[in-house]
Amino acid sequence: MKYRYREPHEMKDSGVKWLGIIPKKWEIGKIKYKFKIGRGRVISQGELDDNGKYPVYSSQTLHNGCLGYINSYDFSKKLITWTTDGANAGTIFLRDGKYNCTNVCGTLEALDKNDSLEYYFYYLSFAAQYYKRPDTNGAKIMNNEMANILSLIPSENKQKIVDFLNKKTSEFDEVIEKKEKLIEKLEEAKKSLISEVVTGKKKVSIDESGQLKVKNRPTEEMKNSGVEWLGMIPEEWKVGKIKFWAKLQSGNSITSDDIKETGKFSVYGGNGFRGYTDSHTHDGKYILIGRQGALCGNINYALNKFWASEHAIVVTLLKSQIDINWLGELLRSMNLNQYSMSAAQPGLAVSMIENLHIPFAKFDEQDSIGKFIFNRKNKVDSIIFNIKNQIIKLREAKQSLISEAVTGKIEVL
């Protein structure tokens, strides 16, 4: 589909800063004159049913905003919905079929049944951001704010704009999806390689030029570790419990009031960096294991003076002949979250983790492995970083095209 940018003489000043100039023949109204505005109802997690038939849409954006399923439905018509509260406030969706919405979802039903919901879906995806207000949970855009959003009324067929945007946005989405899948593959390949290196399945060596190389270790150099998750390991490697090589203990309790945006020392919790405080519990280089929550078992490193909260397990090396990068990546490869004590509120017990068996190589080999991992991670992470930046630019270009189309700055031919 072709389009052109409108000439200056075809445009007029809308009088609204964020709208800018619009076509002379377009009119401005308000959403409350175009839609019946409603809201979903309170639906608790306990009401969700794994075998439910009808989706429940909530404030999240994952899984198209679907929180779960129940066996009844409140809506059976095409509506625009939006997230009213939280970090995703102002996110716009187009819903159809039989479904439910929670109380953090607003609903828009067209007063004119022949009006184009699809056009206003695109328009509000652009306009709603200008009506959000700050809130302790992130932001809000309630029914009264939605009602007063200025709406444009195109003089030409809205469906022509919709068809154009459907085609163009799907092209953007296709490219973005391919790049996201490439990131997944790179992450998986990195994780797989590191796992094979830290467990000795692959051997790290230094070539004549001083470069670190990795290759498959010959079968005759391997032995059965006697540990189910570990399998075969190099003949000269040992196996022992984590507690023989490192001390594990929970961090120290700290309240959210004590964590600041600025301060002398970093605070680390179960999911990594949280902020700053004016005192510290540790000084040096440590491995931190997430102890609670959905990301329990994740691995972070903390350097110098810092505070480790009670949501982290602090790993202190007991022997100098252990490379911290090698041990940290070995723990990461073990997927420690599988040892969680509860599915409802995941958590790791220090006594469970410290008694797990792991392999140990001689220090010089650990050192080579640690250096190889550091170099490889940096290379792969740099590639991933560049791809993520490309995705950001694609999304910005997609949003820019939407805003230009729904505000009439471009004309679809």
In this predicted model, what pLDDT tens digit does every residue of 29-86 receive, in sequence order?
Answer: 999 999 999 999 999 888 999 899 999 998 877 788 899 999 999 999 999 999 998 8
Q: What is the pLDDT of residue 385?
A: 97
- The Cβ-side half-sphere exposure at 33, using a 13 Å CA radius, reads 10
CATH 3.90.220.20 for the 27-153 domain, yes or no: yes
3-state helix, strand, coil in the chain (%, to 5): 35, 30, 35
- 293 close to 254: Cβ distance less than 8 angstroms: no
Going by the DSSP 8-state scheme, the letter that residue 258 receives in this structure is: G
What is the Cα–Cα distance from 281 to 265, expressed in whole angstroms? 10
> What is this structure's pTM?
0.81
Return the amino acid letter for 279. S
What is the Cα–Cα distance from 129 to 132, expressed in whole angstroms? 6
Return the amino acid letter for 366. Q
What is the Cα–Cα distance from 221 to 412, expressed in whole angstroms? 68
Question: Which residue stretches of the chain have pLDDT < 50?
Answer: none
Those residues whose C-beta lies under 8 Å from the C-beta of residue 356, and which sit 6 or more positions away, are: 241, 242, 334, 339
Q: What is the pLDDT of residue 271?
A: 83
Q: What is the pLDDT of residue 199?
A: 92
- Whole-angstrom Cα Rg for the chain: 28
Q: What is the pLDDT of residue 321?
A: 80
Partners of 316 in the β-ladder: 247
Sequence ranges of the chain with CATH classification 3.90.220.20: 27-153, 183-386
Structure tokens at 152: 């444009």
Q: What is the pLDDT of residue 364?
A: 87
Q: Which fold has domain 183-386?
A: Adenine-n6-DNA-methyltransferase TaqI; Chain A, domain 2 (3.90.220)
**What is the dihedral angle through the alpha carbons of 9, 157, 125, 8, rounded to the nearest 10 degrees?**
-10
Structure tokens at 402: 């939407």
Number of H helices, E strands in the chain: 6, 27
